[in-house]
Amino acid sequence: MAKRTASSDINHDNWDAPFVPEEAGSFKIAAQAALQKRVIKTAKRRIKTSESSDAGKSLFASFGGFKPNAASQGSDTSKTFSFLSSGPVTTSSNTSMPTNGTKFVTPQPRFEMTNSNIPSVNRPQQKYLSDLKELNQSVVAWIKKHVESDSHCILSPVFEDYNKHLTKIRAERDAAEKASSVVSSTPASSLSSFNFFQ
């Protein structure tokens, strides 16, 4: 059915003319004589079904998806996953690949580093990094605790304390580095003593 077109045309000449609404018509019921003359068509079914065949045959009668197949009826189903009940899979000692389970084999290091010749210059830096890590973790824990209890709290005091503690940690690091640089007079050639091959 085609769409209804506009009943009037509006252009530059009649755009300001008053709009006269169209009166809606009313439906009338046709007379019985007219209804008897009309032919009412119905759609035809493509598949012809008889009522006798519907009663005896189910819609899913030919479906066999959940039946066990003939090959697996004679076999023992407990052997299907029998490899899981066995012990851990053994691998050769030369490989460092992970096994089939969740246990990973850690490879042996191919180089060796002795602790006796580690320079003491890194020790103040390591202490600084561990102190900084602890400070950051405590600040995060404090923020998390207070935001969970009151989400409208003001966080500026914790950052002021953070700056105060950070300057203290940095001052300790700088003092330790100055002390270690005065005490340490080891030549640089004897500092590294690791060997790549055993």
For residue 140, give the nearest of 125, 162, 173 by alpha carbon. Answer: 162
Distance between start and end Cα atoms, the chain: 91
CA dist 1 → 6, 27, 180 (Å):
16, 18, 95
Average pLDDT per block of 10 residues along the chain, 198 residues long: 80 88 83 90 76 61 68 58 61 54 58 53 82 91 90 87 90 86 58 52
Q: How far is CA 191 from CA 109, 115, 184, in A?
A: 20, 11, 11
Q: Identify the pLDDT of residue 136.
A: 92
Nearest Cα residue to 191 out of 109, 110, 111, 122: 122
CB within 8 A of 157, min separation 6: which ones? none
State the number of CA atoms in the 13 A half-sphere of 37 facing the CB.
5
DSSP symbol at 114: -
pTM above 0.75, yes or no: no
Contact 100, 106 (CB under 8 A): no
Alpha-carbon gap, residue 190 to 119, rounded angstroms: 10
- Per-residue pLDDT at 198: 46
**Confidence (pLDDT) at 89:** 58
